[in-house]
Structure 1
């Protein structure tokens, strides 16, 4: 029996994510929570002929606590989406409080659950969850993940487009390290499982890198003020959740980039050496296992261009992480 919980289940990411989790054979119980509409979303999904039993909860009568009781895995897409002209800073002001309050609920009711954070800005919201868990003495760095899978999915898709064959996209593997916003997103195209076309120039590589880094802006602009990347993010969140669930159930050798606390494994020290910075959090390739983070894998050999990208990412990441930590630690006025 595996219970998955979606916090923010009635939103633009939450609904398609809940749909994808309902169709997963790895989940036997699906619990949905949001401030509005969750019973309707749950009723709708409950008619789908897959084994997962679905229930929806609202805030009254300790709905959050009831939703989280017995949770094995908690996915958090809660928060407001990015609108045109909105920076991740603007997002932070709204989403930080939402994530803090949800993390408090998890720390009290389901401290042993694996927590997957989608709510942006991930570089700051994951540290918020970690700090809340520390305050409740339930922090386990192996169990908290920032979902950066959308960057990986985009890299695979865009490289397949360059290759000229989208059918290879699911097989194209490109590690994306660093963080989950703008310059902190570092796609390691030099480590692509599929050779890039020989006619790609240095400028082409830079343009491709930029597209992976700012793919979210592409969607915000195309939706013309009506939303951000919701469907692709839901797909990416479900993909990472499935990998983690398979690993928890004993499947070996599952590796995925994810934003984690580098103390989760000894390999984190190697990553800190590679980036020449003592960052607490970083999106690295992680081997998943029964306890969550099994191994943090090194960045490895990268191109000189990718080295410059990493150097640009580190100060931004440091500031993002500190922002999340200080949000929780700052004395309340």
Structure 2
């Protein structure tokens, strides 16, 4: 049985039938996708590829038939990760790069740059505790992106996203390369969690579920809009919605505690990062109606950055959607999150301009 399963998987990979789409209309993991012969050449760079998120993310990007060139970069350990991943029999060519002197080579020609670089959360550590270390790492990497692949779509995973995205924007502005349509904070893990938790409580097929998640990517700044969830669930009380909201907001802490201080949400984050990168690649390739949630520059609130649904296209963000109708509970959540998100954004901008 195991042999036949492996053969089936190999056949699927050869035909380019793996899809990472999270939309309800294409929710099956294995389905007819784009044959590699007709797919444009696309280079994806993963910065922080040897880390806890970077390694599984690199594997998932190797499985994506839309990727033709996969550049894996880290300060150490990348050659081994690249050698390991390169043995997977899929389309993309894999190269590993290590250290500052090879960063230019890793980035040059990239269409999408994914940044999971940085230190993970540890027990008792808030996202704010991560700030000084990860902010410096992000600033250095974005300086290089501005120099070597200024037109790439940048997918920011490094926490705290509420601050690292504004840092990246300031770095790009100083370099004269900033394009608001090409910078994304990856909040897809919040969406993945909201879908999973909602489906479990509503007793519906998770593959059919869609839940917009807006705001930011930390604690109360994460606001799942369960009032807009599909399919509609009539069996959820107000108490259920409050509990689902809190669990979505505290999802990262749940994993950190479950791993007893020996890790954070690396595997689910890698999956979510691969989903969002796949959406970006589809948009670049002209696939119509690619809509996902992301933390981007927008004017839908008084804040300069906010997570909401965005339409992805050949130049990145094509449209930022407004929040739509909110329940009273969601309106209260929005009011509570704005001051905290504003503070995080300002902290990022201040760091970028002071250092």
Name the TM tier (shorter chain). over 0.9
Counterpart Cα distance in 2 of 1:89 and 1:233? 19
**Aligned pairs (5 A) from 1:245-324:** 245-262=281-298, 268=299, 271-272=300-301, 278-324=302-348
Q: Give the structure 1 partner of residue 273 of structure 2.
A: 237
Secondary structure of the residue that 1:10 maps to in structure 2? coil
Q: Where in structure 1 do 4 or more consecutive aligned residues deviate above 6 Å?
A: none
Q: Give the structure 2 partner of residue 265 of structure 1.
A: none
Secondary structure of the residue that 1:282 maps to in structure 2? strand
Counterpart Cα distance in 2 of 1:220 and 1:298? 33
**Aligned pairs (5 A) from 1:48-87:** 48-59=88-99, 62-87=101-126
Unaligned runs of 5+ in 2: 1-40
Residue of structure 2 aligned with 1:23, choices 63, 81, 85: 63
Counterpart Cα distance in 2 of 1:169 and 1:130? 35
Unaligned runs of 5+ in 1: 263-267, 273-277
Q: Give the structure 2 partner of residue 219 of structure 1.
A: 255
Residue of structure 1 aligned with 2:241, choices 178, 200, 205: 205
Counterpart Cα distance in 2 of 1:59 and 1:201? 53
Counterpart Cα distance in 2 of 1:296 and 1:78? 27
Q: How far is 1:178 from its partner?
A: 0.3
Residue of structure 1 aligned with 2:81, choices 41, 45, 48: 41
Matched, 1:140 2:179: yes
Secondary structure of the residue that 1:51 maps to in structure 2? coil
Counterpart Cα distance in 2 of 1:296 and 1:244? 14
Counterpart Cα distance in 2 of 1:125 and 1:19? 25
Secondary structure of the residue that 1:259 maps to in structure 2? strand
Q: How far is 1:247 from its partner?
A: 1.0
Counterpart Cα distance in 1 of 2:251 and 2:168? 26
Residue of structure 1 aligned with 2:150, choices 111, 127, 130: 111
Secondary structure of the residue that 1:173 maps to in structure 2? coil
Residue of structure 1 aligned with 2:227, choices 172, 182, 190: 190
Q: How far is 1:197 from its partner?
A: 4.0
Q: How far is 1:171 from its partner?
A: 1.8
Q: How far is 1:163 from its partner?
A: 2.1
Q: Give the structure 2 partner of residue 327 of structure 1.
A: 351
Deviation per CA, 1:287-308, whole angstroms, max 9, x where unpaired? 1111100000110101000000
Whether the 8 Å contact between 1:162 and 1:196 is mirrored in structure 2 is no
Secondary structure of the residue that 2:294 maps to in structure 1? strand
Deviation per CA, 1:11-70, whole angstroms, max 9, x where unpaired? 00000000000010000000010011100000001111001000001115x211110011
| TM-score normalised according to structure 1 size | 0.93
Counterpart Cα distance in 2 of 1:202 and 1:171? 22
Deviation per CA, 1:110-168, whole angstroms, max 9, x where unpaired? 00000000000000000011000001000000000000000000010001101224xx2
Counterpart Cα distance in 1 of 2:223 and 2:202? 20
Deviation per CA, 1:196-215, whole angstroms, max 9, x where unpaired? 242x3222211110000111
Whether the 8 Å contact between 1:13 and 1:230 is mirrored in structure 2 is yes
Q: How far is 1:261 from its partner?
A: 0.8
Counterpart Cα distance in 2 of 1:80 and 1:100? 14
